[in-house]
Structure 1
């Protein structure tokens, strides 16, 4: 398990992990999918996973999902619970010949435990700096993706410009079909 290089990396891990299951087909269907997810997010081989790891990572994903929907006190409770269960006092490590880096998961943690500790820390730090309103779910009626928005004065309602455009077009068409004054 590689470094927790930056808070941004942990936040991206959390958002992308939650977004592996939306209305789109499940993206983590095998240990190989989890392995690719980890590689895509900066981890390096060797990454060895089995069906238990797949189930554990999916469970972590479902523990994180409510953080993006909950009221601030409930989101904080969830993150504090994840931190209490999975995180440890941060420590430096240079295992496997890697450069020195910070760990917050227990030594010997599974990939699911590592993801739980790191993503909870990333989201907690982000919420502390930007407020829980900066953790959100796409406003498009046909989308369930989550996102973070650090911008203070630019409220964001959609996960991507594509969802924003699709929603605007649908709204425009609905108004036009309603006729004059509609």
Structure 2
């Protein structure tokens, strides 16, 4: 494991939230919001209403900027997100999970909790100088983010769909040359 478990979970959720904005948008209704909440195993407050959905959708470009920023810029964005949320990091243990960091109350709105969790995760990424683990999919038709947690830093595509599309295109190009 490259990062501690809560860092990886927060990064995965942040990347998934950012990528939900790419066509087709997969965060357009309350059912999709509920599914996102459950899929990423969030705990705490979940209003499940239109205001929460709008706040989550508005968070996507903020997280995209954070996750694609250069190291010094990312550090400034982390500091801003944490200060805006008045984050106070504390160790917590709940729901069968061992000690991990929470920096905002579980009663805070979901979008603020996700922003703070992403900022806290980016602290680990920045300190380890591992920003290369975050990139944009190399598929020319895709703008999704890639979180590469592989040992050999080999992940270049956001999904098997993009990887397969590029493999088929490369195969067809090779066949056309013969």
User: Under a length normalisation based on structure 1, what TM-score does the superposition of the two structures give?
Assistant: 0.77
- Structure 2 match to 1:158: 157
- Structure 2 match to 1:88: 87
CA distance, structure 2, for counterparts of residue 150 and residue 102 of structure 1? 20
The gaps in structure 1 that reach 5 residues or longer are none
- Structure 2 match to 1:19: 19
Q: 8 Å contact 2:139–2:157 — kept in the other structure?
A: yes
User: Under a length normalisation based on structure 2, what TM-score does the superposition of the two structures give?
Assistant: 0.79
Q: CA deviation at 1:154?
A: 3.5
| Residue 106 to residue 43, structure 1, CA distance change in 2 (3 Å) | closer
Q: Please identify the structure whose Cα radius of gyration is greater.
A: 1
Q: Deviations over 1:19-51 (max 9, x none)?
A: 11112x211112332122111111358733221
CA distance, structure 1, for counterparts of residue 122 and residue 82 of structure 2? 11
Q: CA deviation at 1:163?
A: 1.9
Q: 8 Å contact 2:46–2:110 — kept in the other structure?
A: no
SS at match of 1:89: coil
Q: CA deviation at 1:102?
A: 4.1
Q: CA deviation at 1:130?
A: 4.8
State the aligned residue count: 173
- Structure 1 match to 2:66: 67
| Residue 130 to residue 169, structure 1, CA distance change in 2 (3 Å) | farther
CA distance, structure 1, for counterparts of residue 72 and residue 43 of structure 2? 36
| Residue 153 to residue 87, structure 1, CA distance change in 2 (3 Å) | farther
Q: Does 2:58 align with 1:55?
A: no
The gaps in structure 2 that reach 5 residues or longer are none
CA distance, structure 2, for counterparts of residue 66 and residue 30 of structure 1? 24
